[in-house]
Each structure stands twice: as C-alpha cells, then as structure tokens.
Structure 1
Amino acid sequence: MANFRDPAVVAKDSFALLKFWHVVDGLFIWEFITTLDFEWSIIEGRRRYRWTIWVYSLSRVAALMAVIATLVFLNLTTPYDCQLNVILAILPSYVALAAASFLLVLRIAAIWKRDVLAVVISTAVWTIDGGFLIYGVSRLHYGRAAPGAPCEPVNIQTSKATMIVACVTDILLLLIMLVGLFRLGFHRHATQSTGRFLWNQGIVWLVLATITGVLPTVFVCLNLNEPLGVIFRYPWTITMTIAATRMYRGLDDFLSTDTSNVPASKAHKGGRKMSVWGTPAVPIQLDGVGVTVDVHTAHTQSESLTSQTIPPSLGSSMDRQLQEKSDKLV
C-alpha cells in the first residue's frame, strides 16, 4: 500500500490538485460568461423579473469571486498570508453553496404550496447547513509546512463535520422536494408538464449532489494527506453552484415557453404568438377578416372530429397550480 504521507506522494497529489482546480475554474468561467445573457435579458426587460434572481445572482457572483481568488492563489509566486486564502477563496465558495441551497428551499416552498411544516423543516435544514459552513470557515486554518512551500490546510479534520452535514442536508432537501412531487403524482404525468419537468430536475440534482458531496466527505474522513483531503471540496461547491443556477434558468425557460397548462389569454404573455398547445399561432386572411389559426388544431382537426373528447384530468389542474406557484418562486 502506498504511503500517502511520503513527501514525494504529497508533492504529486499537490500537483494533481493544482491541475484539477484549474480545470474546475476554467469550467465555471466558461459557464458564467456563456450564460450572462440570462441576467442581461432581465435588465433589458426581455425576461420577467422575479425577486429570486437576487439569490441566483448571489450564488454566481460569490462563486466567481472564489474562482478568481483561487486562480490568483494557485499561481502566486510571492509570499502572502495563507489565511487570505480562507477569507477570499473558501468563504465566497461557501456563500455560493448556501445561496444555491436556498434556491432549492424556494423550490420546495413552491412544490409544497407553501405548506407551513414543509417550509419550516426545509428552512431549518438550510439554517443548520449554513451554521456548519460558518463553523467550518472559522475553524479552518492554512499554513506552510516550510518556508517557501505552498499554502495548505493544517487542520483539515475540522472540516469533517462541515462536509458531512453539508452533504446530508443537501440530500435531505432534495428528498423533501421529491416527496412533495411524488405525493401529488407528478412523476406519472405527461412529459411536458411542469411537475414532470421538476421531477426530472430533482432526480438529476439528487444524483449529482450525492456523487459530488460524498467524494469530499469520504476523502476528508480518510485523512490520507492534506492535498487529497481537500481536492474534491472546492470542486463540490462550484459544481453544486453550476447545477443550482442551471436548473433555475431551466425552470424559468420552461415556465416562459410551456403554455400547455395555462389559459389561452396567457399564451401570448411576453409578446409570444403561441397557442395553448405551445405551438405557433398563424395569422391568415379570410374574406378580408384577419383571424389566427392554431397550427396544432389545424393539424389534428380531422382526428378530433372522429375521436371521443376526453375531459381534462385532475392531474392537469394540479399541474397548473404548481406552475403558478413555481412561476412566483422560480
């Protein structure tokens, strides 16, 4: 078995950490730049303003601050105070993670239709998570093993409780969200329903949170050496931020384009000529009178005349209610 405390092994692991974190930083910078149009569309008024955009932006900006600080510290050759790494890099990454988790709390409130018990439990779980993140930052110290050596954590075991609690609370919040969808039966609805969309997002998020959260927790508990103890912690916070903000944008786009469960009067919201089926409404002229024809209706009219009319299901009504809640708390 390899001796992970051997200086040569530690140096090799430090080099791997350096390269890996550069890849993570590059990935987030690419993600941030390519998705700036989302915020810009709100500023220009092309997209509906929702107050939750501030939580979304806080998560992204805090993560960007952490990425910039990390890149500086990874490539800085002159001596500096190692504790600045904690303040300028680790603290913003934890703020980004907390904001990303709060987006999930807001989604839970919408799914559970602001049920008091669900909101209280999810908020309490999020508060516990935030408290342990603050505790972890306050107890984390960086130093140098020798003069001229790079900064590294000198007490990574103090992060063990923080990592375990953060991983468990994220998974617990996701389970609360999925239970809320499951109890309403949205996992069985049509593919285009809001409930089904949220269900699929929740499954993806649960798998991602489990994988990215378990890895740093396992490595910090193994305590092989300092680089391996923290190698997955920073990528975990950045990955969860990317996932949370991507799902926020995805839900916003879905609510902006999916009109299958809203009245026809709302189908034109935002200036889009859309029918209640989510298909284009084509204007035509009949004897000098302008009318609008639903492409979907025109395409299926022959079938609808020969088939039996099916009344709207209860699930569609429930899904419409969920869409209205999600539209407020997206």
Structure 2
Amino acid sequence: MVNFRDPAVEAADGFILLKFWHVVDGIFIWEFITTLDFEWSIIRGRRRCRWTIWVYSLSRVAALAAVVANLVLLNLNTPVDCQLSAILEMLPAYMALAAASFLLVLRIVAIWRGNMVAVVIAAIVWAINSAFLIQGVSRLRYASEAPGAPCEPVNIQATKVTMIVAFVTDILLLVIMLVGLFRLDCHRHGTLATGRFLWNQGVIWLLLATVAGVLPTVFVCLNLNESLSVIFHIPWLITMAIAATRMYRGLDDFLSSDINCSSHGTPHNGGRRMSVSGTWAPAVPIPLDGTGVDVRSTHDHSLMSQAIRHSLGSDSDRKLHDQPHELA
C-alpha cells in the first residue's frame, strides 16, 4: 500500500498538484476571455442591463482574482507573507462561490414566485454557506518550509467542515430549485420551452455541483497528504463559477433569441420549430436571474400555463396572454 506521507510520494503529489492547477487555471482564463463579449454587448447597449449582472460579474471577477493569485503563488520563488497570500487567494475564491450560489437563490425566488417558505429556506441555506466560507478563510493557515519555498496549507483539516457545508448547501439549493420546477411539470411539458430549458439547466447544474463538490470533500476527509487534500479545491471553484455564469448567459441568450415573434413567423424555441396561429403578445418579464422569462402555453396545457404564471410571478403593469401554437 502506498504511504502517502512518504516524502518522495508527497513531492510527486506536489508536482502533480502544481501542473494540474496550472491547467485548470488556464482553462478559466480562457473561459473568461472568450466570453467577454457578453459584458461588451451590455456595455454597448445590445443587451438589457439588469441588476443581477453585478452578481454575475462578482462571481467571474472574484474567480479570476483567485486564479491569478493562485498562479502567482505557484510561480513565486521569493519570500512572501504566506498568510497574507493565502487570504488574498482564498477570499476572492470563496466570494466567487458565494456569488454563484446567490445566482441560484435568485432562480429559486422566481420559480417559487416568492413563496415565503421556499425563499426563507433558500436564504437560510445560502447564509449558512456564506458563513462557513468566511470561517474557512479565517481558519486557514499557510506557511513555507524554507525561505523562498512555496506556501502550503498547514491546517487544511480546519476547512473540512467548510468544504462539507459548502457542498451540502449547494446541493440543497439545487434540489429546492428542481422541486419548484417539478411542481410545475417543467420536466414533462414539451411545449413550454422555457420550463423545459430551466429544468435541463437545473439537472446539468446539479450533476456538475455533485461531481465538482464530491471530489474535494472526499479528499479533504481522507487527509492522505497536504497536496492531495487540496488538489481539487481550485477545480471545484472554477467548475462552480463557470457553471453558474454560463447558465446565466445561456438563459439570457435563450430568452433574447425568442423574445420577438411575428404573427406568421416560425420562431425557434428550445431547439424546436413552431408554427404560430395569430399574434403572440409579449410575455411577462420574470426576474429569473434578472433576465426575464418568456413563457408561452397551448390551450392543451392551460393548467400548466396558469401554474407557471402563479409560480413565476408577473409585473404589475403587464399581463401574460396565452396564444395557441403547436409543435411543427
């Protein structure tokens, strides 16, 4: 059996961690740069600027700051204050995770149409998540074995509870969201493209959060050695930040591509073509992720449409008009 505390094994694991983190950091930087056109389109006024863009931007910028700090620490050969460096790296990392979770809370509030029980539970879960993330930053200690040597965590087990709580709370938030969508039958009604789109996003998000969260949680609990205990921390951060922001952009793109419908057009909706009878009235902008949700229903699914209207809410000065259409 491998002795993971053997100095030679620890050195090999440290080398693997160094290369692995460089790869995942590079993936996030590539993702950040290649998706800047979304922010640019908002600056140029081609997209509607909603207040939730600040939450979206916080998740992206904080994750970028954490990645840059991580790369600097991995490649710095001069003596530094390891504790200060750790705070500069972990604080934005946990801020990015908290912002990503908050984007999920916004979806929950919209899907449950402000249902007090669901909103309070989601708020409490998110607050617990944020509190333990803050505690994780305050309890983590870094040090170097020799002057000029890389900074390494010396009490990674102190963050074990933080990792477990962050993982569990993210899963709970996703379950609350999926339960809300399940209550609306969004997983079955093919003609309600927005509901189906949200359901698919939720399932994908749940799978990503589970896979990304299980690995760092398991390895920090196993405590094989310092390198293996933290090897999946950065990938977890990057996965959650990319998933949250990509799904925010995906929903915005989905709604933007389906917002204008002419009386005799054949718009694309959820990847399917539809034939339209009559004129579609503009749908109510729902504050889901602050992007607004364009919900349309058929006469065959009038009960489903009513459930979505009541569950997702509507603006005070506009009404949702159901117009008949059928799948081509």
Q: TM-score range by the shorter chain?
A: 0.7 to 0.9
- In 1, distance between residues paired with 2:263 and 2:86? 50
Q: Which residue of 1 aligns with 2:154?
A: 154
Matches within 5 A, 1:298-309: none
Matched letter for residue 72 of structure 1: V
RMSD (CA atoms): 2.3
The question of whether the paired residues in 2 share the 8 Å contact of 1:136 and 1:162 is answered with: yes
Give the structure with higher Rg (CA). 1
Conserved? CA contact 1:194–1:323, under 8 Å: no
Deviation at 1:87, TM superposition (A): 1.8
Matched, 1:242 2:204: no
Matches within 5 A, 1:71-220: 71-190=71-190, 193-220=193-220
Higher deviation after alignment, 187-196 or 44-53: 187-196
Distance in 2 (alpha carbons) for counterparts of 1:27 and 1:231:
16
Give the corresponding residue for 2:292.
Answer: none
CA change 1:191–1:236 in 2 (3 A) is farther
Q: CA deviation at 1:323?
A: 6.9
Give the Cα separation in 2 of the matches to 1:6 and 1:275: 72
Answer yes or no: is the 8 Å Cα contact 1:215–1:232 preserved in 2.
yes
Distance 1:274 1:23 in 2: 50
CA contact (8 A) 1:194 1:322 kept: no
Q: Which residue of 2 aligns with 1:254?
A: 254
Question: Matches of 2:314 and 2:87 in 1, distance apart?
Answer: 38
Q: Which has the higher helix share?
A: 1
Q: Summarize the Cα distance change of 1:8–1:23 in structure 2 as closer, same or farther, 3 Å threshold.
A: same
User: Residues 2, 46 of structure 1: CA spacing in aligned structure 2 closer, same or farther, 3 A cutoff?
Assistant: same
SS at match of 1:173: helix
Q: Which residue of structure 1 lines up, in the alignment, with residue 267 of structure 2?
A: 278
- Answer yes or no: is the 8 Å Cα contact 2:264–2:276 preserved in 1: no
- Separation (CA, whole Å) in 2 of partners of 1:109 and 1:164: 25
Q: 1:203 to 1:190 in 2, by over 3 A?
A: same
TM-score, scaled relative to structure 2: 0.83
The structural deviation recorded for 1:110 is 0.7
Q: Give the Cα–Cα distance (whole angstroms) in 2 for the partners of residues 12 and 276 of structure 1.
A: 62
Give, in whole Å, the separation in 1 of the partners of 2:276 and 2:226.
64
Q: Distance in 1 between matches of 2:268 and 2:247?
A: 24
SS at match of 2:187: helix
Structure 2 counterpart of 1:278, which letter? Answer: P
The match for 1:311 is 299
Alpha-carbon distance change, 275 to 19 in structure 1, aligned in 2, over 3 angstroms: farther
CA distance in 2, matches of 1:227, 1:274: 61
1:31 maps to 2:31:
yes
Per the TM alignment, residue 319 of structure 1 is displaced from its structure 2 partner at its CA by 4.4
SS in 1 for 2:299: coil
Amino acid at match of 1:311: H
Structure 2 CA distance for aligned equivalents of residues 65 and 21 of structure 1: 15
SS in 2 for 1:186: coil
Where does the alignment leave 5 or more consecutive residues of structure 2 unmatched? 278-297, 316-328
Aligned residues: 291
Deviations 1:149-176 (A, max 9, x none): 3211000110100000000000000000
Check conservation: 2:265, 2:275, Cα contact below 8 A.
no
Equivalent pairs: percent with the same residue? 69
Counterpart code for 2:255: L
Contact 1:187 1:195 in 2 (8 A): yes
Give the secondary structure class of the aligned counterpart of 2:37: helix
Please name the residue that 1:232 is paired with.
Answer: 232
Alignment-derived partner of residue 57 in structure 1: 57
Q: Structure 1 residue 278: deviation in Å?
A: 1.9
- Structure 2: which amino acid aligns with 1:28? F
The structural deviation recorded for 1:324 is 6.6
Change over 3 Å in CA distance of 1:311–1:88 after alignment to 2: same
Are the counterparts in 2 of residues 191 and 197 from structure 1 also a CA contact under 8 Å?
no
Q: Deviations over 1:267-299 (max 9, x none)?
A: 26xxxx68675259xxxxxxxxxxxxxx9469x
- Counterpart CA distance in 1 for 2:307 and 2:126 is 27
Task: Indicate if the aligned counterparts of 1:164 and 1:217 stay in contact, CA closer than 8 A.
Answer: yes
One-letter amino acid matched to 2:142: Y
Instruction: Determine if contact 1:62/1:96 at 8 Å carries over to the other structure.
Output: yes
Structure 1 68/274 Cα, relative in aligned 2: closer, same or farther at 3 Å?
Answer: farther
Matched residue, 1:305: none
Distance 2:173 2:98 in 1: 12
- SS of alignment partner, residue 45 of structure 2: coil
For 1:79 and 1:155, the matched residues in 2 are separated by: 20
- How far does residue 215 in structure 1 lie from its aligned partner after superposition? 0.6
Q: Distance in 1 between matches of 2:238 and 2:126?
A: 18
